Amino acid sequence: MNDLTRAGQVERAHGVPDLGRVTIEMLAEALRRGWADTKRAPGFAILFAGTYVVLGWIMTWVTLATGHSYWLIFSAVGFPLIGPFAAVGFYEVSHRLDEARPLDMRAILGVIAHQRRRQLPSICAIIIFVFLFWFFLAHMIFALFLGLSTMTNISSSYEVFLTGNGLAMLTVGTVVGGVFALLLFMITVIALPLLLDREVDFVTAMITSFGVVRRDPVPMLGWAALIAGLTFLALLPAFLGLFIVLPLLGHASWHLYRQLRDSANP
């Protein structure tokens, strides 16, 4: 066992805590606290978000250099593998700021490294499975609507998407993709900070997260829409917006979970 792993071993309470109801005020407060943490720990924002930015650049470069769009698929599949671990970094920073503990780089990286021995790899596997199933369905949808269309190169034959079948494919694909994105949101939004905070199995964490979203659908779906919108905007300026959006949402997600926990256990 290396020093970083030992640094991440801490005593955690067992079981799922009672969680309060989600309110719009909680979401606003989570964003406020998330932005405050981002400003208080900018170095960690650059470190963790920088991983995503660099991967985005590599993904774009390889795609342009090879002319093969399937590299986008490989990169998209790889992103969920590191996403939860990057999120844990933001959660741990916010956790330490909440408790006025020092932001020791070695200790925080130790917490991240220790997650590979806990439940996080299992939830990563679930995320990857959902992504792969979505890509399978996406190919099926493409074949169903455009499989017989004359097209020499999908990268240059954009006019095919403006046909009746093309528009139908885009509509169905968007709806189905949205369902998968919503499913991933529902099973991870509370599960990820819960797994850092407590000793609980990943199935229980996902069920708990799903239950919170189903119990309070209006504010939680609004939270999902905000995450999707901010992330999309962050990707536009050469992925550079992720330096702001990922730390903000990462810290805010921890604070949302913390508020839900504390409101039920005053």
What's the confidence (pLDDT) of residue 144?
Answer: 84
- The confidence band for 9, taking pLDDT boundaries of 50, 70 and 90, is low
What's the confidence (pLDDT) of residue 152?
Answer: 45
Please give the Cα distance from 82 to 91 (Å, whole number): 14
Least Cα distance to 245 among 34, 94, 29 occurs for: 34
What's the confidence (pLDDT) of residue 157?
Answer: 59
Task: With H, G, I as helix, E, B as strand and everything else as coil, classify residue 199.
Answer: strand
Q: pTM for this structure?
A: 0.83
For 96-140, how does the pLDDT look when each residue is reduced to its tens digit (9 = 90+)? 999 999 999 888 888 888 887 778 888 888 888 887 787 788 778
What's the confidence (pLDDT) of residue 151?
Answer: 52
Least Cα distance to 146 among 108, 126, 124, 173 occurs for: 173
The total number of structural domains that make up the chain = 1
What's the confidence (pLDDT) of residue 266?
Answer: 66
For 199-258, how does the pLDDT look when each residue is reduced to its tens digit (9 = 90+)? 899 999 999 999 999 999 999 999 999 988 888 888 888 889 989 999 999 999 999 999
Task: With H, G, I as helix, E, B as strand and everything else as coil, classify residue 46.
Answer: helix
What's the confidence (pLDDT) of residue 85?
Answer: 63
What's the confidence (pLDDT) of residue 235?
Answer: 80
For 126-175, how does the pLDDT look when each residue is reduced to its tens digit (9 = 90+)? 888 887 787 788 778 878 887 666 554 555 556 666 777 778 888 888 88
Q: Which domain holds residue 15?
A: 3-264
What's the Cα-to-Cα distance from 235 to each of 86, 169, 248, rounded to whole Å?
17, 24, 15
Instruction: Write down the mean pLDDT value for the chain.
Output: 83
- Burial status of residue 115 (CB atoms within 10 A of its CB: 0-12, 13-18, 19 or more): buried
